[in-house]
Amino acid sequence: MKHFIALLLPALFLLASCRGAGGQLASSSGGDTLALRYAENLTLVSYPDYTVATLRDPWDTLRTLHTYVLVPKDKALLRTLPSGTVIRVPLSKSLVYSAVHCGLVEELGASGQIGGVCDVKYMHRPFVQEGCRQGTIVDCGTSANPDIERIIDLRPDAILLSPYQNNNGYGRLSKLDIPLIECADYMETSALGRAEWMRFYGLLYGKSGYADSLFAQVEERYERLKNRALLSSTSYSLLADLKYGAVWYISGAYTPMGRLYEDACGRYAFADLKRSGAVPMSFEAVYDKAGESDIWIIKYNRPQDMTYDDLEAEYAGYARFKAFKERRVYGCNTARIPYYEETPFHPDRLLADMIQILHPEIQLEGGLQYFSLLQEGK
């Protein structure tokens, strides 16, 4: 009898260790891992009755940020599933916080599956503006201060939002019993890595086949453009963005934008900043490092396109930069150009702009799509 108990205890311990919260199984065998070539913070494993999406914590890569178990609505919900947040797919009435993901959902042909949005004033897609006017899409306030009562009335089947480091949870949202899908694609370490997350979003909206095909097209064009840039004989140095308040947020080398500048064969002023995510710096620190950069690329949101006079009026110190003096500042007015809606999941389009700016001898069909040289003031 003692011998039997000695054999039984390890088996019971193993069984207990395989269970997560709520009595669900922590993992399953026999899954088919979907091949992801660039995304480092996302893993997708397909099983006969569900798919498990595991999001690695980009701020602590030894931890898991979130695990989702995607179960098709046309299949019965199994009594034992892997540990994680269960999402019934395809989503039919989602709340989407950002213009970035609204743009992708529309491109996937699933705009009718968005029931609510946040930050409407930054949503330039006609379907969003028209939906809000007609009441088919609910304006749920701002992402920083969502309207909880409207969200409760909407009863979305999931909320897509962007996580941040040390955000201390999501307040009342986390108590609504609505799945929160943490869209951490922006923390990937390459432009194609971020774009590859469209395959996850394709699974959420029942558009996985189209998403896979779309990503293959993006990847092929991106690699072709990257090879084109390698043949260029020019080599311009590059500074990007503007300061916000007293802080200038600089993209590290291991960010989608940092890698894109490298793939465009530009000499990014902060290529030696071996960091993922943005690093806050003072104006003087940026000027000391990048004041002599040949090219300066900025984004802004204004009713009218910015001029050199406007830029100097915004902050007099900007006029000290070499690119300002030599009139090599390229701007993108996001109030009228769908930069944020398109480029995160179409880095090939942004790469095409960067290559033409950094290598003027390369002129691509269609010219610049997002950026143009600033004009003189009147």
Q: Tell whether 261 and 188 lie within a shared domain.
A: no
Q: Does the residue 287 lie in any domain?
A: yes
Q: Tell whether 135 and 235 lie within a shared domain.
A: no
Domain interval for residue 159: 18-215
* pLDDT attached to residue 41: 96
Please provide residue 247's backbone torsions phi and psi, each rounded to the nearest 5 degrees. -120, 140
Q: Tell whether 203 and 59 lie within a shared domain.
A: yes
Compute the distance between CA of residue 58 and CA of residue 184 in angstroms, rounded to an integer: 8
Report how many domains make up the chain.
Answer: 2
User: Which of 157, 186, 215 corresponds to the end of one domain?
Assistant: 215
Q: Tell whether 74 and 137 lie within a shared domain.
A: yes
Q: Tell whether 162 and 45 lie within a shared domain.
A: yes
Compute the distance between CA of residue 340 and CA of residue 343 in angstroms, rounded to an integer: 6
Positive or negative: CA dihedral 288, 292, 294, 300: positive
User: Which of 148, 180, 215 corresponds to the end of one domain?
Assistant: 215
CA 25-26-30 angle, 5° bins? 80
Q: Tell whether 157 and 32 lie within a shared domain.
A: yes
Burial class (CB in 10 A: 0-12, 13-18, 19+), 191: buried
Query: Which pairs count as long-range contacts for 43-49, CB under 8 Å and 24+ apart, including other chains?
Result: 44/199, 44/200, 44/203, 49/75, 49/78
* pLDDT attached to residue 378: 65
Q: What is the pLDDT along the chain (378 residues), one digit of tens a residue?
A: 434 334 333 333 333 333 333 333 334 457 899 999 999 999 999 999 999 999 999 999 999 999 999 999 999 999 899 999 999 999 999 999 999 999 999 999 999 999 999 999 888 899 999 999 999 999 999 998 999 999 999 999 999 999 987 777 788 999 999 999 999 999 999 999 999 999 999 999 999 999 999 999 999 999 999 999 999 988 899 999 999 999 999 999 999 999 999 999 999 999 999 988 899 999 999 999 999 999 999 999 999 999 999 999 999 999 999 999 999 999 999 999 999 999 999 999 999 999 999 999 999 999 999 999 999 976
Rounded alpha-carbon distances, angstroms, from residue 123 to 89, 114, 119, 143, 205: 25, 13, 7, 12, 20
* pLDDT attached to residue 100: 95
Contact 286, 306 (CB under 8 A): no
By C-alpha distance, which of 335, 339, 341, 374 is closest to 353? 339
Q: Does the residue 3 lie in any domain?
A: no
Q: Does the residue 82 lie in any domain?
A: yes
pTM, rounded to two decimals: 0.88
Compute the distance between CA of residue 144 and CA of residue 118 in angstroms, rounded to an integer: 9
Q: Does the residue 12 lie in any domain?
A: no
Q: Tell whether 229 and 95 lie within a shared domain.
A: no
Compute the distance between CA of residue 143 and CA of residue 122 in angstroms, rounded to an integer: 11
Q: Does the residue 195 lie in any domain?
A: yes
In this structure, what CATH number is given to the domain that contains residue 314?
A: 3.40.50.1980
Contact 234, 361 (CB under 8 A): yes
Q: Tell whether 168 and 255 lie within a shared domain.
A: no
Q: Tell whether 289 and 338 lie within a shared domain.
A: yes
* pLDDT attached to residue 29: 58
Rg of the chain over all Cα atoms, to the nearest angstrom: 23
Asked if the bond preceding 90 is cis, omega within 30° of 0, the reply is yes
Q: Does the residue 7 lie in any domain?
A: no
Q: Tell whether 178 and 325 lie within a shared domain.
A: no
Q: Tell whether 243 and 367 lie within a shared domain.
A: yes
Q: Does the residue 4 lie in any domain?
A: no
Residue positions counted in the chain? 378
Q: Tell whether 38 and 168 lie within a shared domain.
A: yes
In this structure, what token pair is assigned to residue 375?
A: 């004009």
Q: Does the residue 10 lie in any domain?
A: no
User: Which of 194, 215, 236 corresponds to the end of one domain?
Assistant: 215
